[in-house]
Amino acid sequence: MLQLPKVIGHRGAAAYAAENTLDSFREARRRGATWVETDVKLTADGVPILMHDASLKRTTGVDRLVAQTKAGDLPQGVPTFEAAIDCLRELGLGCNVEIKPCEGREAETARVVVEVLRRRWPAALPAPLLSSFKDASLVAARETAPEFARAILIDVLEDDWRGRAEAVTAVGVNANGKKLTAPRAVEVRKAGYLLGVYTINNGDVAKALVGMGAQCVITDTPDAIVAALD
């Protein structure tokens, strides 16, 4: 059974370092995280990299779509997924790998992500957790590599959440903690799913969510949340 930590650093430790970079992973480690969450998508030539947005603009200043940029033309500092895994190995960090496909590349992105994980994920680290807002990605991940645990990502839990979780054989639900209600949290736990919440940077809010049943808090400020939950 997958063992999630109480705290996962969001995009590394996004409050303290450039998100989804190796520096951000190091910062998360320094600030007490044992796991990080990161977003993975594909370049034009199919290389998995760490990037949240469809465009490189917000995080690198380069006004170009990831899907139209070859890996060799990426701005400095954007890690490949492989380099990220090597860094996680060095740091001893677990990882919630969010499959964040560019539009139309849902299945392809998932297949590449799990292929890299199979080849490169260090046996010494805890098994990773895959998550995605895109069910097509989670289905493709399951078809290619069923051994990696999956969580659905949901902004607001509606009545259909369980159908989504069952359709991708998820073990967990990662929900927007700012919109999660106590009855929904209870429903998720009672149904036997792991419950994670994102992106919570306030210690009191984190404590309240844990009180509601959340087992894992994804945060930009791992130090603050580790301190609050200890």
**Pairing label, strands 149-154, 7-10:** unpaired
Single out the residue of 13, 17, 31, 39 in contact with Mg ion (rule: CB under 5 A): 39
Rg (CA), the chain: 16
Binding site partner of 131, from ligand G3P, Mg ion, none, Cβ cut-off 5-8 A by kind? ligand G3P
Ranked by CB distance to ligand G3P, the top (closest) residue is: 198
98 versus 223: smaller Cβ distance to ligand G3P:
98
In single-letter form, the type of residue at position 215 comes to: Q
**Residue 220: which of ligand G3P, Mg ion, none does it interact with, CB under 5 to 8 A by kind?**
none
The amino acid at 175: A
Contacts of 84 by beta carbon, 8 Å cutoff, 6+ apart: 22, 25, 38, 50
Alpha helices in 168-202 (DSSP H): 182-190
Q: How far is the CB of 20 from ligand G3P (least distance, A)?
A: 9
Contact between 106 and Mg ion by CB under 5 A: the answer reads no
154: exposed, middle or buried (Cβ count in 10 Å: 0-12, 13-18, 19+): buried
HSE of 186, CA atoms in CB hemisphere, 13 A: 3
Nearer to ligand G3P, 39 or 106 (CB): 39
Q: Is residue 220 a contact point for Mg ion (CB under 5 A)?
A: no
By a kind-dependent CB cut-off of 5 to 8 A, residue 47 interacts, out of Mg ion, ligand G3P, none, with none
Residues forming the site for ligand G3P (CB under 6 A): 10, 37, 39, 52, 98, 131, 153, 174, 198-199, 218
The answer to whether 98 contacts Mg ion (rule: CB under 5 A) is yes
From the list Mg ion, ligand G3P, none, partner contacted by residue 198 (C-beta under 5 to 8 A by kind): ligand G3P
- Residue nearer to ligand G3P on the CB measure, 58 or 70: 58
Phi, psi of 26 (to 5 degrees): -60, -40
Separation CA 171–CA 4 (nearest Å)? 11
User: Token digits for 5?
Assistant: 């930590």
Cα–Cα dist 182/76, whole Å: 43
Question: Interacting stretch for Mg ion, rule CB under 5 A, among 90-98, 155-163, 187-195, 203-211?
Answer: 90-98
Which residues are within 8 A (CB) of 163 and not within 5 positions of it... i.e. 6 or more apart? none
Residue 153 binds which entry of Mg ion, ligand G3P, none, CB below 5-8 Å type-dependent: ligand G3P
Nearer to ligand G3P, 59 or 72 (CB): 59
Query: Which residues of the shown chain bind Mg ion in the complex (CB under 5 A)?
Result: 39, 98
